[in-house]
Amino acid sequence: MTVRRFIFICCLALAIPKSTFPINRDTLVVADALQSNMVLQQNKAFNVWGRAHPGDQVAIKADWMTDPIKVTANVNGEFLGLITVPSARKGDFTPHQIQVSTLKEKQILTNLLIGDLWFCSGQSNMQFSVKEMIDAKEEIEGANQSNIRLLSVGLNFSTEPVNNFTGKWKICSAETVKDFSAVGYTFGRKLFDELNIPIGIIFSGIGASAVQPYVPQEQLASDELLNETYLKPYLESTKATEKIDGGFSFEKVTRPFLLYNAMIHPFINLSIKGFCWYQGESNHMERSPYVRATQVMIKSWRQRFQQGDDPKLAYDAFFREAQEQISTLNNTAMVSTMDVGAAKDLHPKNKKPIGLRLAAVALNRTYNNLSVNYQGPKYSYLELKKNVVTIHFVSETLGSGLNTNDGAPPKFFYIAGDNQIFYPAEAKIVDDTIVLDCKNVKHPKSVRYAFFNFPVTNLQNKEGFPVNPFRTDQWPESK
């Protein structure tokens, strides 16, 4: 359920892939990741790669270059050339082109824009489409934005890294946006509205997928915990010997490394601005293996994309707590969806706030617009004076102060004594703190906020960012 998930946004800043292109070796072909209508990442070196006849000289020239660069296809026919992309300028939506040619053939990429390119991945709540959103009609009608470009990658699996994929870059319009990721689109639209430069969004993920399919095999193998938890059980099973095709099954989208090979690896030469990751449901009964796997995934993606370090039943509450540990990784931030979920719906339709919150993180952390608030109030410390319990928050996360999104008192605060039995507490906002009262607990020891499976919260700062769930104790999870 979305209320128990967070989204991780990894603000990140290139080697020819070893995989093969499914083409005639004598034909000049540009990599699938390079297409007409795409957005080129501004102000970075940009790889142009593909295949030609072995030994052929390949000339690469963008329309902003005076002279082409020339590279030679290796013995396998693979070539890679590096060109410089200028900085984007606000309000400049000039279409560009890149020509790739040999003596006998040429390929031309047209209608290219220079701006920022973001890569979105995860499971069903990232895949959830614009046409399924609340206010979908309004969103779709306002989506004729020719300077936003969208790429949705087709589902595939592979036991080896590959370069090819299905999917075409499309100009954002009322028609093309319908089936695109709602979170991805609203994130990109907010960036476009704020920055006034072209924005490209890639969605490459699939519903029901776990984290381990997105981690490269060698990274799983080199980590003892991940190897024992995910990789060895799979490689020692009969599933590992099956022929893999591109068809969906709930079991197949949890198999280690197959999605990385087919849906992430084709893009590792591509210069991008950063990643948005929205996943967790399929791993929600896990703790330390999930944290490790997600951090290893982020590190491995950064390394391969060469980005550098520039997202009473209480099992899901403990899982959220585990998810929060992922954001301790440098230049990784998390936004909460606690207030926009639905306790009885795995795929709530209110996706726009999620995209906007991700955009706020990017605007503050990546684009250095420090005036943009991007986080909700975070628990700082507990003050106990007799039976009066006061919750304090980290000052820089309070924004302009606390309130509730419905005008009602804050919900989902619980207090326990030494017996570790939690009782509901009445909560009220006093200045920038929460004061709690619970007549059932005479000697309070611990407070928990929204620390169970399916809360939909109302406590936030006045900028609309919800208070993150927390607990003040370290009592072990009940099994």
Query: Greater confidence, 467 or 286?
Result: 467
Structure confidence by residue, pLDDT tens digits, 359-389: 888 898 889 898 888 888 999 999 998 778 9
Q: Which of 220-224, 279-283, 301-305 has the lowest average pLDDT?
A: 279-283
- Is pLDDT of 118 > 90? yes
Q: What is the pLDDT of residue 325?
A: 60
Q: Are 19 and 162 in contact (CB under 8 A)?
A: yes
Cross-strand pairs, 335 = 7
Q: What is the pLDDT of residue 360?
A: 86
Q: Which of 155-169, 289-303, 401-415 has the lowest average pLDDT?
A: 289-303
Structure tokens at 118: 């973001």
At a CB cut-off of 8 Å and minimum separation 6, what does 160 contact?
Answer: 19, 261
- Is pLDDT of 7 > 70? no
- Is pLDDT of 174 > 50? yes
Q: Are 267 and 38 in contact (CB under 8 A)?
A: no
Q: What is the pLDDT of residue 324?
A: 58
Q: How far apart are CA 290 and CA 223, in angstroms?
A: 13
Q: Name residue 225's amino acid.
A: L
At a CB cut-off of 8 Å and minimum separation 6, what does 28 contact?
Answer: 50, 51, 52, 53, 56, 58, 100, 101, 102, 104, 105, 106, 107
Q: What is the pLDDT of residue 336?
A: 64
- Is pLDDT of 247 > 60? yes
- Is pLDDT of 139 > 70? yes
- Is pLDDT of 432 > 70? yes
- Is pLDDT of 3 > 80? no
Q: What is the pLDDT of residue 343?
A: 46
Q: How far apart are CA 469 and CA 339, in angstroms?
A: 11
Q: What is the pLDDT of residue 245?
A: 83
How many Cβ atoms sit within 10 Å of the Cβ of residue 435?
16
Q: Give the mean pLDDT of the chain.
A: 86
Q: What is the pLDDT of residue 385?
A: 86
| pLDDT, average across residues 417-426 | 88
CA angle centred on 282, ends 290 and 2, rounded to 5° = 105
Q: What is the pLDDT of residue 5?
A: 43
Q: What is the pLDDT of residue 479?
A: 43
Q: Which residue has the tokens 């009220």?
A: 428
Q: Which residue has the tokens 């892939």?
A: 17
- Is pLDDT of 56 > 60? yes
Map out the domains of the chain with their CATH numbers: 1-375 (3.40.50.1110), 379-461 (no CATH)
Q: What is the pLDDT of residue 305?
A: 87
Share of the chain above pLDDT 70, in %: 84
Q: How far apart are CA 184 and CA 127, in angstroms?
A: 9
How far CA 244 is from CA of 178, 215, 259, 462, in Å, comes to 30, 18, 11, 50
H/E run at residue 338: none
Structure tokens at 369: 């617009």
Q: What is the pLDDT of residue 110?
A: 98
| pLDDT, average across residues 213-220 | 96
Q: Are 279 and 211 in contact (CB under 8 A)?
A: yes
pTM of the model: 0.73
Region of 351 please: left (phi>0), alpha (psi -120 to 50) or beta.
alpha
Q: How far apart are CA 81 and CA 59, in angstroms?
A: 9
Q: How far apart are CA 58 and CA 64, in angstroms?
A: 18
Share of the chain above pLDDT 90, in %: 60
- Is pLDDT of 48 > 50? yes
Q: How far apart are CA 38 and CA 36, in angstroms?
A: 6
Q: What is the pLDDT of residue 157?
A: 96
DSSP 213: G
Q: How far apart are CA 74 and CA 52, in angstroms?
A: 9
Structure confidence by residue, pLDDT tens digits, 303-349: 898 765 444 434 444 444 555 565 567 676 666 666 655 444 455 66
- Is pLDDT of 279 > 80? no
Q: How far apart are CA 38 and CA 88, in angstroms?
A: 14
- Is pLDDT of 452 > 50? yes
Total count of residues recorded for the chain = 479
H/E run at residue 125: helix 124-127
CA angle centred on 188, ends 140 and 365, rounded to 5° = 150
Q: What is the pLDDT of residue 313?
A: 38
Closest Cα to residue 299, out of 216, 227, 361, 203? 216
Q: Which of 8-22, 159-173, 202-216, 438-452 has the lowest average pLDDT?
A: 8-22
Longest dimension (CA), the chain: 86
Q: Which of 55-64, 146-155, 271-280 has the lowest average pLDDT?
A: 271-280
Q: How would you write 7-76 as a 3-class SS string?
A: EEEECCCCCCCCCCCCCCCCCCEECCCCCCCCEEECCCEEEEEEECCCCCEEEEEECCCCCCEEEECCCC
Q: How far apart are CA 113 and CA 108, in angstroms?
A: 14
